[in-house]
Amino acid sequence: MTIIETPFRKLLIIEPRIFRDNRGYFYESWNQQVFARAGIPDIFIQDNQSGSSKDVIRGLHFQIPPHEQGKLVRTLAGSVLDVVVDLRRSEPTYGQHFKMVINASGHKMLFIPPGFAHGFLTLEDDTVFAYKCTKAYHAPSERSLRWDDPDLGIDWGIDKPILSDKDKQAALFKGFRSPF
């Protein structure tokens, strides 16, 4: 397994070692010892999975302290454009975003530490997205930022995504006071 650092502190790309043969493939999606050496905590307590058609944006979501979540995300079928926004005020990357394509055939994962807003755009029909969370979902602590916020400047490559009513009502970054 290869752990790749990004320009954002503690935001890590995980590239598993894939073993292929005539039957298919095998890889480790979780290895506590390898992840611990990379600083990924062994405190995942909730697994989530979503299925979506093409052109769906889910996010940009986060939970405020003391219910902030770290996430280990991957795509089980299809592909997504995964996007995170750094909400940690003390970081030089505060307010900046990172994005990458995560697809089922590539098997890459992304570890998102607490203090990031997270969202993704599905690039294919029947996309299945999975994430392990370091804390349980807590509805009163959930917040969202707008996917098309001009101050964030994220190029999603789409003008009219499919959005939930909640995501249509998300807050703008301007005036946002980060609790991180």
Mark whether 25 is an active-site residue: no
Residues near 96 by Cβ (< 8 Å), separated by ≥ 6? 8, 85, 86
How far apart are alpha carbons 97 and 173 in whole angstroms?
Answer: 12
How far apart are alpha carbons 53 and 169 in whole angstroms?
Answer: 21
**Helical (H) or strand (E) element with 110:** strand 109-112
Mark whether 61 is an active-site residue: yes
User: CA neighbours within 13 Å on the CB side: how many for 168?
Assistant: 6
The two beta strands, 71-77 and 109-112, are antiparallel
Give me the catalytic one of 27, 61, 67, 107: 61
Q: Name residue 120's beta-bridge partners.
A: 58, 82
With CA atoms as reference, report the closest residue to 42 among 123, 117, 111, 120. 111
Give me the catalytic one of 107, 131, 137, 138: 131
Q: Annotated catalytic sites, by residue?
A: 61, 131
